[in-house]
Structure 1
């Protein structure tokens, strides 16, 4: 199984703001037919309803203590596009967002985002492990897929935060 870790420092930010931005990026697109559930917080488990409307689709779940959803993903690969669905669980109390493939092109794909408030910046860590399930091709495919994951995470993080600096 191949492991990928990307550490980023986000200057002049608060940990909760960074968590919210990453969770918004990870949440299922309401127009995709994907689904998510709020386990506590904004949406009431008793009512089974959630706020709706153009301004609440992504902001309401962020306010919940725990958010769970399924989202379709794709990753551009030199020989084509990898596709999979993953379950995403946001844990506001621990400033952690975990994800795991539920179906798709990988034999296994899972990981997490963690957010930590440092003195002068927020440290954002992306960690993932994946396996294509083709042992004989791992030496060829894994490094290419690792770089594609790093590039995608890099584009996402720099798109969210102008002050993002990647750590070696």
Structure 2
């Protein structure tokens, strides 16, 4: 990971049940980040470029806690495992790492998002980090409802304070 996790790290998890959707179709829709602005008002823009080692670089501008959050991330798409791992390259956050994964469900698919992030504002961490955690879960939920429609049901929504990762990086 290029960014370093500091002292105030949040971990967020969001899961959605997407009724009637096959896992591969969910993965195809999810991995089409560039289409998100057409589906969700919280996403202002996403641009994509090829990265090293078959990775993809995505650049994001998203509504976040009353402002706009901007960052670039490296995305590793694993079509066989229906998983996307991501990590911050640069932007408004000090650190960000996580993943999206899709699993079959008897009545459709389950989409899971998990991430750890650090705003990098140590003096204000106690005040800002909980607000940022709630804003992250809210933004992810709104994005996914935009992409997958109003029938997508949030089945998990967690925001936790966690200890920094040893070595300053890694994924949740």
Displacement of 1:81 in angstroms is 2.5
Displacement of 1:38 in angstroms is 9.7
Do the aligned partners of 1:28 and 1:71 also contact (CA within 8 Å) in 2? no
RMSD of aligned Cα (Å): 2.7
Q: 1:140 to 1:154 in 2, by over 3 A?
A: same
Which of 25, 36, 47 does residue 17 from structure 1 map onto? Answer: 25
Relative to the length of structure 1, the TM-score reads 0.73
Question: Which has the higher relative contact order, 1 or 2, with Cα contacts under 8 A spaced 6 or more apart?
Answer: 2
Q: Write out aligned runs for 1:84-123 (5 A).
A: 84-123=71-110
Which has the greater radius of gyration? Answer: 1
Is the partner of 2:89 in helix, strand or coil? strand
Structure 1 runs not aligned, ≥5 long: 40-66
1:158 aligns with 2:172: no
Q: 1:27 to 1:128 in 2, by over 3 A?
A: farther
What is the count of residue pairs matched by the alignment? 140
Task: Please give the alpha-carbon distance, in whole angstroms, between the structure 1 residues aligned to 2:33 and 2:12.
Answer: 19
Is the partner of 1:143 in helix, strand or coil? helix
Structure 2 runs not aligned, ≥5 long: 1-8, 38-44, 157-172
Relative to the length of structure 2, the TM-score reads 0.71
